[in-house]
Chain A
């Protein structure tokens, strides 16, 4: 082998494998045909939501005649607190994003490793970086994908706010980081759950199905068991999204007090997923 070539191997990459994996995941999601299609559908759905239902609801909240009707709807949904937001566009965005983003993130991050493991592609990676870099790099990659989508939707909502009332530009600007922080942390356990299921399951469809079962049935089961053994109700805190309803009823600066729940859930799912992946045959 050419000695010069061997020496060039000593040129160290500026990125840790962990960041390279995350970057590849991010680029792969937006640069591939499949990724572009999913992102396109996402933006289309959000554009429709922002320019029709959210715009309508925001105008109605801001309008004294429409507000009573919207308040009734918000009351049905348990979201009366939104009426107290000065920025009605962001108020409605918050309520919609809190419920929709977790669902999107769950679907979009469902195949963090399954297809690649099935086709043997992981075997090329484990010779070059640790399993930890692969597992956590993929998770961070998917969080970055969601962060990009959040930034796009927040940007569009901000433009909508400016179009409706440009005097509120500063208030809008100040609320953006808070909304971003809250939503990214709300999403993280859903992505982490899919990281775990990507390791544990051999099919993307089954992984999604199991995730839905966990989200829908876990609380019912835990509550029925907890009626006998109250201490077991603590397991409710492991169900992703358990705090969302409560967060939707709070003002944006009060929701920080609930963010420990998604952080704790993410740590648990990631710890479990990594423990499994470290021992898994690939």
Chain B
């Protein structure tokens, strides 16, 4: 199976600053992938190299088996670039149909395609407005719409929901989830709970280095026993409950992440219904809870024990 994205010893240097340090990874087509990391970690630089906006200082990157920036990739990848603005003098429809025409659509088809992607972003009614008449959030949605033109096989979205209201952010998440049947998305965001809902894998960059590429909710820790996790969010902190949970069969450890959040590590082979036992315990102790999640939250997975 050919990897949809393949990076080998990729590095990027700006003057004395190394934005990416010898990154190597491979991604198969499939479920959306989260790209996370603090500001300045190299996420946008990685996207810029993959989109062909910048050249890597060393190493190579291939998308669908072709070197990034090669003409074979034209129309096969979509990108939401950070902070890129459209021509203010054109209407949304003209802007997007022009891009569709460049991608190979005929004149009439390009208009249909522009309207289709605008509808996905719930902007069809504004198709004859110019960019200057739109709010920041609307502009962001138009940028996402352009990434969806045609039938790209890979779409890179750099902070797609930053600056959007909750309703539109949810709409975009739904669209990504729905479209991910045909398209592989790589989504960069600082909103970990959002990524957790959309993505099945996470790629963690920090100071230009690839810290992890792993499935969300599954531990990357190498332990003698393969442990599973349950995250329990209580309505309010309750230290007494810990000792009682530890007494449940198969529980290896219980850690407080925040006052009201417990990470329970257990051996699933010994007890596959720990979640039900937990619910019974909470009921008997009349301890109210907010959420019980199979696995760890992405935040806990990435920043375990303050290690990262």
B112→A121 contact, CB < 8 A:
no
Give the docked Cα–Cα distance between A123 and B113 (Å): 20
Tell me, rounded to whole Å, the shortest Cβ–Cβ distance linking B44 to chain A: 12
Which of B55, B83, B102 is within 8 Å of A129, CB to CB? B102
| Stretch from B72-80, B231-239, B252-260, B292-300 that touches the partner | B72-80
Give the docked Cα–Cα distance between A6 and B79 (Å): 18
Tell me, rounded to whole Å, the shortest Cβ–Cβ distance linking B77 to chain A: 7
Which of A17, A32, A279 is within 8 Å of B89, CB to CB? A32
Contact residues in B for A128 (Cβ distance below 8 Å):
74-75, 99, 102-103
In this complex, the interface size class of chain A, counting residues with CB under 8 Å from chain B, is: 35 or more
B85→A120 contact, CB < 8 A:
yes
A13 with B48, Cβ < 8 A, contacts A128-B99, A130-B71, A281-B55 known: no
A126 with B105, Cβ < 8 A, contacts A13-B110, A120-B84 known: no
B79→A9 contact, CB < 8 A:
no
A281→B86 contact, CB < 8 A:
no
B98: Cβ under 8 A from any A Cβ: yes
In this complex, the interface size class of chain B, counting residues with CB under 8 Å from chain A, is: 35 or more
A123→B54 contact, CB < 8 A:
no
A124→B55 contact, CB < 8 A:
no
Please give me the 10 A-B residue pairs with the lowest Cβ-Cβ distance, nearest first: A120-B84, A128-B102, A6-B151, A119-B85, A281-B54, A123-B81, A32-B89, A11-B109, A11-B106, A123-B84
Q: Which partner residue on chain A sits nearest B48 by CB separation?
A: A281
Of A8, A281, A282, chain B has the most CB atoms within 10 Å of the CB of A8
B301: Cβ under 8 A from any A Cβ: no
Mark B37-61 against chain A: 1 for CB-CB distance below 8 A, else 0.
0000000000010011111000000
Mark A110-145 against chain B: 1 for CB-CB distance below 8 A, else 0.
000000100111011111111000000000000000
A121→B99 contact, CB < 8 A:
no
- Pairs across A and B, CB under 8 Å, 15 listed: A1-B183, A8-B105, A8-B113, A9-B75, A9-B104, A9-B113, A11-B109, A20-B101, A119-B85, A123-B51, A123-B79, A123-B81, A126-B53, A127-B52, A130-B74
Main secondary structure, interface of A, reads loop
A24: Cβ under 8 A from any B Cβ: yes
A13 with B84, Cβ < 8 A, contacts A6-B151, A8-B112, A28-B89 known: no
Give the docked Cα–Cα distance between A124 and B90 (Å): 14
Which of A12, A33, A279 is within 8 Å of B104, CB to CB? A12
A15: Cβ under 8 A from any B Cβ: yes
B87: Cβ under 8 A from any A Cβ: yes
B98→A11 contact, CB < 8 A:
no
A11→B105 contact, CB < 8 A:
yes
B170: Cβ under 8 A from any A Cβ: no
A126 with B106, Cβ < 8 A, contacts A9-B113, A120-B83 known: no
Tell me, rounded to whole Å, the shortest Cβ–Cβ distance linking B80 to chain A: 10
B105→A282 contact, CB < 8 A:
no
Give the docked Cα–Cα distance between A125 and B75 (Å): 10
Of B48, B55, B84, B179, chain A has the most CB atoms within 10 Å of the CB of B84
A64: Cβ under 8 A from any B Cβ: no
Contact residues in B for A120 (Cβ distance below 8 Å):
81, 83-85
B146: Cβ under 8 A from any A Cβ: yes
Contact residues in B for A21 (Cβ distance below 8 Å):
102
B145-169 interface (Cβ within 8 A of A): 146, 150-151
Give the docked Cα–Cα distance between A130 and B75 (Å): 11
A257: Cβ under 8 A from any B Cβ: no
A78-126 interface (Cβ within 8 A of B): 116, 119-121, 123-126
Contact residues in A for B84 (Cβ distance below 8 Å):
119-121, 123-124
Contact residues in A for B124 (Cβ distance below 8 Å):
none
Contact residues in B for A126 (Cβ distance below 8 Å):
51-53
Give the docked Cα–Cα distance between A128 and B75 (Å): 5
Contact residues in B for A20 (Cβ distance below 8 Å):
98, 101-102
A121 with B87, Cβ < 8 A, contacts A11-B109, A13-B104, A281-B53 known: yes
A254: Cβ under 8 A from any B Cβ: no
Mark B122-150 against chain A: 1 for CB-CB distance below 8 A, else 0.
00000000000000000000000010001
Contact residues in B for A130 (Cβ distance below 8 Å):
71, 74
Give the docked Cα–Cα distance between A125 and B79 (Å): 11
B268: Cβ under 8 A from any A Cβ: no
B53→A24 contact, CB < 8 A:
no
Tell me, rounded to whole Å, the shortest Cβ–Cβ distance linking A87 to chain B: 40
B116: Cβ under 8 A from any A Cβ: yes
A14: Cβ under 8 A from any B Cβ: yes
Mark A256-282 against chain B: 1 for CB-CB distance below 8 A, else 0.
000000000000000000000001011
Which of A5, A6, A124, A282 is within 8 Å of B99, CB to CB? A124
Contact residues in B for A279 (Cβ distance below 8 Å):
55
Which of A5, A12, A116, A127 is within 8 Å of B87, CB to CB? A116
Contact residues in A for B211 (Cβ distance below 8 Å):
none
Contact residues in B for A6 (Cβ distance below 8 Å):
151, 182
Tell me, rounded to whole Å, the shortest Cβ–Cβ distance linking A10 to chain B: 8
Q: Which partner residue on chain A sits nearest B150 by CB separation?
A: A9
Q: Which partner residue on chain B sits nearest A5 by CB separation?
A: B116
B66: Cβ under 8 A from any A Cβ: no
Of A14, A15, A28, A127, chain B has the most CB atoms within 10 Å of the CB of A127
B151→A9 contact, CB < 8 A:
yes
